[in-house]
Chains A and B, each alone.
Chain A
Amino acid sequence: MMLKNNKLRSVCLASLLALGIQQGAQAQISDNVVKIGVLTDMSGPYSDFSGKGSVTATQMAISDFEKKYHPKFKIEMISADHQDKADITSDKARQWFDREHVDMITDLVSSTAGLSAMKVAKEKNKIVIITGAGSSKITNAGCNDVTVLYVYDTYATGQGTAKAVVKQGGKTWFFLTADYVFGHSLETDATKAIKLAGGQVLGSVSHPFPSRDLSSYLLKAQASGAQVIGLANAGDDTINSIKQAAEFGVTPKQHLAALLIFISDVHSVGLKQTQGMYLTTGFYWDRTPETRAFSKRYFNVMQKMPSMNQAGVYSAVMHYLEAVQATGSDDTKTVMTEMKKTPINDFYAHNGHIREDGRMVYDMYLAQVKKPSESKYPWDYYQILATIPAEEAFQPLSESTCPLVKK
């Protein structure tokens, strides 16, 4: 009797389990629609390297996916401007998750926007793939299990550039640092890397953010006699630093290394003043036949070449949709597990995979801006000097302060 009872119990349990598994295996896509939200900066300081271009890239990814897989589910996309404001971002994210039944939000350009959206996503248990923002906080103290940081972070661009430049012979450094958290963290990360690589930091000067006139700081950098001037700032400040460095004859005697710069910035300043500058990027349109193929299609729509963010959005959306296709589910945990399990190798990322802290690691590239005379055709801007292997490009997990990382 006892035995029978036990057996009965196990049969019950087994059937229950089977039921559970079956339910999990059934195409669990709510309403049979996968909805992707592109929350981006349409007009602000970051719109040039994300914005409408990111929307275009997402549309391209969706239509390519549909052509390739003929999925049984429908894919929809909505987009909005987060204006780089935390409250608008979290407002929109909440509304999208609650009412529009959005399954995944991507882009999110400023770190304010990224950090606030990932908090909402955690609360609502939905996925966020950040391709725009690059604060290291996202995968450190602020990390969570529903967020992927796909394209770059200040650690990778700052530290990557610094290490690589020292290797190229730029041993002595002077920093021009934007006087707020972002600038200082860029400087700290880069300084660490320089010292490790055997370089030397001669000094640094903090400038207010934003600064129109950086010439007096540049004169200090000039007086320091450093071989390399590290620009630990972003956007307009970087652009102004570059222009004024050329004006005061700081360059080309001393080299500039921008710790964070996008191809759209180089495009707007022009090669004359940016030539010789080192930078780290995850993507350059003219690197391989595959990147060229994608970029030319993109160019036909946008009349601009894609930045690493815009190309990254395409890759991220594709990776997400493929995970949905493979699991037949849009359940957050199922899809996240699949995305983290599957390596990423496409035109954008090589040797890519998503770590437990949410960081997508892949090969980055050290580039130098060409001289105007070397530029043969429009947008022929970078010379790729070296590949920074995935393991070296990003902050090692052992240094991460993310609680999800098991140590």
Chain B
Amino acid sequence: MRIAIYLILLIIGAVLPHFVYPVLLMKILCFAIFACAFNLLLGFSGLLSFGHAAFFGGAAYVSGYLIKNLELPTEVAIIGGVLSAALMGWLVGILAIRRQGIYFAMVTLALAQMVYFICLEAPITGGEDGMQGIPRGSFLGLSLKDDLTLYYVIFTGFILAFLIIYRTIHSPFGQVLKAIRENESRAISLGYDVPKYKLLAFVISAAFAGFAGILKMLVFNFATLTDVHWHMSGDVVLMTIFGGIGTILGPVVGSSIIITLEDQLTDSAGDMVTVIMGVIFVVCVLIFRKGIVGESVALYQRMLGRKNLPQVK
């Protein structure tokens, strides 16, 4: 059943760019990676970071700098960007994991704001204009100039990221994270080095967030302040909650819908987009906390449960 779903999704993903505007699809994929990375932290470790834009945008700037100013090949720039995101994640992580819950959220938010100011004021980032005109270059000999080629490269990148995150969640490491999420003191008393686990989860999440940001930079040829702004951190929280916190596919569903919605709304709603996003946020938090995937799974299980009662958990 599960494999069937994934296969169908894979086929849809491979064929879709021939019907739908590829740039929009690439944007969705980038945000799907971003949301999956975020979900690893929120959904499976119980840590709400309000500063993930720093890694997303920060890595985009670093990669952009490597390509544009140092003229390094795209492959090297991607690796360099991901490493920089991991490093930033480590720095923010060691500070943030000293606090829990709401404090954790505020600390990440504040540190991300610092990254924002650095990106705004540093001489190489282009300030308000952003870093513009970053060439896509080529990847493993494949020229990325064509949108479709880039789409398939990004699609592959997405599958790769998805699989790694999936493996991480289902590994013993992921199980420990879940244990920490459920009951931190118990995990400590069981002898787990909780801060170390949290930090590692944070670094992995930051690295993939950075990966997503770099891909987005390649699609649009620029990195701008929007990518490091706290609204971006809020967006990824919304996508994850809307899709379903702690579900495997939730972030993918959430980002697809939110990005498509945003794309449609720019024409019809204009300046009310922020308000609509806020309303979705409030509704999700109040009555829809499991998200689309979470609620669907719950519904499915209930239906299943009604059919063969003994199996009810």
Contact = CB atoms under 8 A, between A and B. Distances in A.
Interface of A: 42-43, 47, 80-81, 83, 85-88, 90-92, 94-95, 98-99, 110-112, 115-116, 119, 135, 137, 142, 179-182, 208-209
A405 to B, nearest CB: 19
21 contacts: A42-B271, A43-B270, A86-B226, A87-B216, A87-B220, A87-B224, A90-B222, A91-B24, A99-B21, A110-B128, A115-B129, A115-B132, A119-B132, A119-B221, A135-B129, A137-B129, A142-B133, A179-B121, A180-B127, A181-B128, A209-B121
B296 interface: no
Given A43-B270, A179-B121, A86 B130 contact: yes
Given A111-B128, A182-B127, A182-B129, A116 B222 contact: yes
B273 interface: yes
A112 B128 contact: yes
A91 B128 contact: no
A255 B123 CA distance: 30
Interface in B71-104: none
A43 B275 CA distance: 12
A83 B266 contact: yes
B277 to A, nearest CB: 12
B129 A111 contact: yes
B21 A95 contact: yes
User: Would you list the 8 A-B pairs with minimal beta carbon distance, nearest first?
Assistant: A43-B271, A180-B127, A181-B127, A86-B224, A42-B270, A42-B271, A81-B270, A85-B226
A128 B1 CA distance: 51
Interface in B176-233: 216, 220-222, 224-226
A95 B22 CA distance: 11
Nearest to B216: A87
B120 interface: yes
A83 B128 CA distance: 13
A334 B23 CA distance: 30
Contacts of B130: 86, 112
A260 to B, nearest CB: 12
Contacts of A47: 271
B245 to A, nearest CB: 26
Given A42-B271, A180-B121, A87 B27 contact: yes
A219 B21 CA distance: 54
B7 to A, nearest CB: 30
Given A180-B120, A209-B121, A209-B128, 15 more contacts: A42-B270, A80-B266, A86-B220, A86-B224, A87-B222, A91-B23, A91-B24, A112-B130, A119-B133, A142-B132, A179-B121, A181-B126, A181-B129, A182-B128, A208-B121
Q: Which of B129, B224, B263 has most chain A Cβ within 10 Å?
A: B129
B281 to A, nearest CB: 18
Contacts of A119: 132-133, 221
A95 B225 CA distance: 23
A119 to B, nearest CB: 6
Given A180-B120, A208-B121, A87 B226 contact: yes
Contact of A112 (B117, B129, B273): B129
Contacts of A137: 129
Contact of B132 (A43, A86, A94, A209): A86
A119 B27 CA distance: 18
Contact of B224 (A85, A99, A209): A85
Interface in B213-262: 216, 220-222, 224-226
B234 to A, nearest CB: 15
A87 B28 CA distance: 12
